[in-house]
Structure 1
Amino acid sequence: MYPGAYVTEFPDKPAVIVAGTDETITYRELEERSTRLARHLYDEGLRPGDHLAVLTDNDPKVFEVYWAALRSGLYITSVNRHLAAAEVSYIVNDCGAKALVVSAGVAEVARKIVPETPGVTIRLAYNGPVEHYDSYADALAGASKEPLPSQPRGIDMLYSSGTTGRPKGIKPALPTHQVHEPGDINVATSGPLFGFDRDTVYLSPAPVYHAAPLRFGGIVHALGGTVVLMQKFDAEAALAAIERHGVTHSQWVPTMFVRMLKLDEAIRNKYDVSSQRVAIHAAAPCPVDVKRAMLDWWGPILYEYFGSTEGNGFTVISTEEWLRKPGSVGQSKLGIPHICREDGEELPPGEVGLIYFERELLAFRYHNDPEKTARAQHPRHPNWTTTGDIGYLDEEGYLFPTDRKDFMIISGGVNIYPQEIEDALALHPKVQDVAVIGVPDAEMGESVKAVVLPAPQAEPGQELAEELTGYLRERIARYKVPRSIDFATELPRTPTGKLVKRVLLDRYAH
């Protein structure tokens, strides 16, 4: 399905509402504007298989652009608005974008990249003028509102977050069906799993350039629901949005849970969040104590999934299952999971190794990088792919991720997974954020270091380091306890909550 399927039934129903301002795009507006933009792009020469890029803040018009691409057979690449101009130019050029749509909120970067992106022939800007870009509103006004005779389904081509290196485009095959026909795997999988339908009110607090907010927003529209879009995450504002809009579904990353849990109890209890039926979380492992605290607060409505921008596999776990198997991310709903050693040998249940997912065909390719694509494939089964996560399966096929291969610490020949140590510190009242890395050690090869962002009321220094060390010794094995703790004024996280550990690894490399 797609938004146009609902225009006759409820044209004035909100498709998108902006939390905090109540700016609204109705289903009628979403259908007409996406149709007009699709017409404009076609009239300017774009054809199925071409690329459209969008660079925007969290503005509801991004869904007009998204659906214009999906009803034109185009690839759409949503670019991280926090990147520097050179990084944005790299992605726009690498994906081969012929059209670029920007918001006035990113005008400075949008202007800077013009001379560096000569392949772009169509430039449009909304919410105000941007030098060298044509008016988005004028382009739509001058285009027909009649849908194109053929509307082949397009698809997103998003870029990895770059937490371990330069971002790479993840290029799936174009769908073979029309936009109004069934066949979208995200809708078919996630709709039933999470109970999305036309009564859904879905709160999206994360940046729309990220895979989950963009794709899940599209799923909600395909099923006739409403997306409540936060312009940026704020813990109290998120609770207020749930109450104001009667949110039924929401999606979070664990750092958002931690920030909401650390609000004063009076603030947390101020807002009625009982309208929620499903609260989804993903993107990073959730500490067991954090999840238990959220369950105590919100009740048994938490669903966790494990997946990637690459889309090679997908697991889901309900609250009921998780209470039986804390730390698991569930059984697979897409792809057959395998745990393998470095040499590709498959491991039995309970043993930790690289997580692969088996699909009938190769699930993805890294754009312009056949070597990275090959590295993601199993040495003997090319349709088994990995994104570098490490974990194990239990006897019932439940997956337990432990960390990423790139971040594993080998100290004295022993494998140590930083995530376990980070989880142990996550809810300590004097810790606002923490990253654990391996640093060079002449004797052990690597030693464990924690980099801590203290809570506002905490005083960094030796006394706090000793307190945290003692706290950890009561909770994890002694060989995992950091041999050193540094304090920082900030940690490198993406706006979606992922630690960019390569920044810290580079800092402590020597």
Structure 2
Amino acid sequence: MESVAPPAAGAPAIRCAGQARGYPEFLDRAARIATGLAAWGVTPGDRVAVVLRNEPAHLEITTAAAQLGAAAVPVNWHFRQDDLRHVLTDSGSAVVFAHTDLLDAVTAVLPEGVRVVEVAVPPGVAAACGTTAPPVTGRYPVLDDWLADRPPLARPAEARPPTVIYSSGTTGRPKGVLREPVGPDRLAEAVTSFLEYFAVAPGGRTLIPAPLYHASPSQHAVLALAAGLDITLMPRFDAEEFLRLVERHRIEQAQVVPTMFVRLLRLPKDVRERYDLSSLSSVVHAAAPCPPHIKHAMIDWLGPVLREYYGGSETGAVTWCDSAEWLSHPGTVGRAQGTCAVAVLGSDGAPLPAGATGEIYVRPAENWPRFSYLGDPGKRAAMEAPGRPGYVTLGDIGHLDEDGYLYLSDRRNDLVISGGVNIYPAEIEGCLLALDGVHDVAVFGIPDEEFGEALAAHLETDPGVRLTAAAVRAHVAERLARYKVPRTVVFERRLPRDESGKLFKRQLRDPYWEGHGRRI
């Protein structure tokens, strides 16, 4: 196995759970992986699957594929059977890199002709994930040996495709977002925007706690590499470990999701106060609505360092707001920045006035790469706003205020229509998260003969907490309209979320609708 020299003291590095790569070593390894891929016949336009937990090798392979003009496909390493088979087949990946303990799952569904590189599980990564690093099998070439004697790629491609991100499958079969290659000038523009909006300086220190198979952390990592930032990856989010890493590495900037805020705030006060977090100047969050009381609590704790954006893997960030803007417009996800634009349209496609709720359409920045969906061009066309070229919807509902700030109500697929009244579960979920003892919650519609749909709430409580359905209903009834009180209340040991905090509400909702014909 090849040993890698430690980074020079004070020099930016890519580190994770005991591993550290200085940029010279990191870029050398990536360039030699690119040579290996080229020797195996990978060419511009091809795709390379990465079935790895967060670690430096994940980013090395992503960088190597881009140097060839190929696209990395970060795969959710939890996927098994049908979902894993779908992504490996649908993406048309020519090569798969997989951690040793994930090889069996990969080879069970591996398309014919696809080659495999085995990646040893680093001990620190295994420990962070609650397991032990297994010995390499040797059934396939092992990454460090495979790249050891190869020269660096002589002529890297100028135009580099972004990663192909697959949706998490929370509402159906995952689909791959394919974006056009980006040339040096557009990459430089993207890096400049990244540094500005994420409020981090060149050479600054960033922490990425979410899985790299999701769009936001993947894009964050790629731009952080291009900007030469010092990057710390977490193999798996742990609230106290997050604080420990901020203190140890004097982290200046981090990107999180609201669920991580909830877990951080649930740490005992003495634990939260144990760590020096004064280095933080920018904590960016996105990917899901953040309950206002949670965001207030985070600003009270960390100061006005929170920044929020709205967008998707298809469009990039479209709106932004800092802490001061949010405090003056509570609940907003920001307003359009630069060449981006937002419109809220009614069912007839006409723009709605300020304050009126409708479907959100966004126009990405002019330099954002155009996108399509692998194997499903119709899905891309269905997202477009009639008569408004360049505007697409991500499936969210919300409104704009008089100042142009955007507010999310919920996902279009999560909207509940009960007795002709629109109900947005996100509002009720935020209300229930403020109830003492509630650790997590999912609210959704279930069949009702009289009203069409009724509300169900599935809750996960803190250890030792005993709540009753009546107490849950009373809490909502005191704070929201009566029609927003859940009729069904179920207590779960654990709600189905992935590592980034994304809730698989479909798993809870589908059983209620079996035989009722609703399209979920």
Could you say whether these structures have the same fold, taking a TM-score greater than 0.5 normalized by the shorter chain as the test?
yes
Quick check: 2:204–2:252 contact (8 Å CA) kept in 1? yes
The alignment covers a number of residue pairs equal to 492
Choose from 288, 292, 298 the match for 1:284.
288
Choose from 244, 249, 255 the match for 1:251.
255
Q: Give the secondary-structure state (helix, strand or coil) at the position aligned to 1:111.
A: helix
Residues 437, 131 of structure 1: alpha-carbon distance in 2 compared, 3 angstrom cutoff: farther
Quick check: 1:10–1:27 contact (8 Å CA) kept in 2? no
Aligned to 2:76: 80
- Partner deviation per Cα, 1:236-276 (whole Å, 9 max, x = no partner): 11111111111111111111111111111111111111110
Aligned to 2:431: 424
Residues 12, 301 of structure 1: alpha-carbon distance in 2 compared, 3 angstrom cutoff: closer
Q: Give the secondary-structure state (helix, strand or coil) at the position aligned to 1:54.
A: strand
Aligned to 2:355: 350
2:148 counterpart of 1:118? no
Question: TM-score by structure 1 length?
Answer: 0.92
2:244 counterpart of 1:240? yes
Q: Give the secondary-structure state (helix, strand or coil) at the position aligned to 2:312.
A: coil
Quick check: 2:48–2:96 contact (8 Å CA) kept in 1? yes
- Which segment is superposed worse, 103-112 or 348-357? 103-112
Report the Cα distance in structure 2 between the residues aligned to 1:149 and 1:362, rounded to whole angstroms: 20
2:373 counterpart of 1:366? yes
User: Following TM superposition, by how much is the alpha carbon of 1:112 offset from its aligned partner in structure 2, in angstroms?
Assistant: 2.2
Quick check: 1:159–1:167 contact (8 Å CA) kept in 2? yes
Quick check: 2:103–2:118 contact (8 Å CA) kept in 1? no
Letter in 1 for 2:440: D
List gaps (5 residues or longer) in structure 2. Answer: 1-6, 122-134, 515-520
Report the Cα distance in structure 2 between the residues aligned to 1:130 and 1:307, rounded to whole angstroms: 41
List gaps (5 residues or longer) in structure 1. Answer: 1-8
Question: TM-score by structure 2 length?
Answer: 0.90
Residues 343, 271 of structure 1: alpha-carbon distance in 2 compared, 3 angstrom cutoff: same
Aligned to 1:100: 96
Report the Cα distance in structure 2 between the residues aligned to 1:490 and 1:49, rounded to whole angstroms: 41
Choose from 205, 209, 213 the match for 1:205.
209
Aligned to 2:3: none
- Which segment is superposed worse, 239-248 or 138-147? 138-147
Quick check: 2:34–2:153 contact (8 Å CA) kept in 1? no
User: Following TM superposition, by how much is the alpha carbon of 1:484 offset from its aligned partner in structure 2, in angstroms?
Assistant: 2.2
2:323 counterpart of 1:319? yes
Q: Give the secondary-structure state (helix, strand or coil) at the position aligned to 1:467.
A: helix
Residues 60, 42 of structure 1: alpha-carbon distance in 2 compared, 3 angstrom cutoff: same
Q: Give the secondary-structure state (helix, strand or coil) at the position aligned to 1:209.
A: coil
Report the Cα distance in structure 2 between the residues aligned to 1:55 and 1:362, rounded to whole angstroms: 25
Choose from 4, 12, 15 the match for 2:13.
15
Quick check: 1:199–1:224 contact (8 Å CA) kept in 2? yes
Choose from 447, 454, 477 the match for 2:461.
454
Aligned to 1:6: none
- Which segment is superposed worse, 247-256 or 144-153? 144-153
2:260 counterpart of 1:227? no
User: Following TM superposition, by how much is the alpha carbon of 1:426 offset from its aligned partner in structure 2, in angstroms?
Assistant: 1.2
Aligned to 1:5: none
Choose from 22, 28, 50 the match for 1:32.
28
Q: C-alpha root-mean-square deviation of aligned residues, in Å? A: 2.1
User: Following TM superposition, by how much is the alpha carbon of 1:105 offset from its aligned partner in structure 2, in angstroms?
Assistant: 4.0
Aligned to 2:342: 337
User: Following TM superposition, by how much is the alpha carbon of 1:184 offset from its aligned partner in structure 2, in angstroms?
Assistant: 5.2
Q: Give the secondary-structure state (helix, strand or coil) at the position aligned to 2:203.
A: coil
User: Following TM superposition, by how much is the alpha carbon of 1:383 offset from its aligned partner in structure 2, in angstroms?
Assistant: 2.4
User: Following TM superposition, by how much is the alpha carbon of 1:441 offset from its aligned partner in structure 2, in angstroms?
Assistant: 0.6
Report the Cα distance in structure 2 between the residues aligned to 1:80 and 1:184, rounded to whole angstroms: 29
Report the Cα distance in structure 2 between the residues aligned to 1:343 and 1:108, rounded to whole angstroms: 51
Letter in 1 for 2:208: S
2:301 counterpart of 1:304? no
Q: Give the secondary-structure state (helix, strand or coil) at the position aligned to 2:475.
A: helix
User: Following TM superposition, by how much is the alpha carbon of 1:450 offset from its aligned partner in structure 2, in angstroms?
Assistant: 0.8
Letter in 2 for 1:60: P
Report the Cα distance in structure 2 between the residues aligned to 1:375 and 1:184, rounded to whole angstroms: 32
Residues 95, 149 of structure 1: alpha-carbon distance in 2 compared, 3 angstrom cutoff: closer
User: Following TM superposition, by how much is the alpha carbon of 1:62 offset from its aligned partner in structure 2, in angstroms?
Assistant: 0.6
2:190 counterpart of 1:174? no
Quick check: 1:111–1:132 contact (8 Å CA) kept in 2? no
- Which segment is superposed worse, 225-234 or 305-314? 305-314
- Partner deviation per Cα, 1:114-143 (whole Å, 9 max, x = no partner): 3xx114245443446346421211221131
Aligned to 1:273: 277
Residues 388, 346 of structure 1: alpha-carbon distance in 2 compared, 3 angstrom cutoff: same
Quick check: 1:16–1:26 contact (8 Å CA) kept in 2? yes
Letter in 1 for 2:11: K
User: Following TM superposition, by how much is the alpha carbon of 1:31 offset from its aligned partner in structure 2, in angstroms?
Assistant: 0.9
Aligned to 1:471: 475
Q: Give the secondary-structure state (helix, strand or coil) at the position aligned to 1:134.
A: coil
Quick check: 1:77–1:156 contact (8 Å CA) kept in 2? yes
**In percent, how many aligned pairs have the same letter?**
38
User: Following TM superposition, by how much is the alpha carbon of 1:171 offset from its aligned partner in structure 2, in angstroms?
Assistant: 0.9
Structure 1 runs (4+) deviating above 4 angstroms are 9-12, 359-362
Residues 256, 346 of structure 1: alpha-carbon distance in 2 compared, 3 angstrom cutoff: same
Report the Cα distance in structure 2 between the residues aligned to 1:288 and 1:12, rounded to whole angstroms: 38
Report the Cα distance in structure 1 between the residues aligned to 2:343 and 2:234, rounded to whole angstroms: 37
Structure 1 segment 57-72 matched on structure 2, within 5 A: 57-72=53-68
2:385 counterpart of 1:391? no
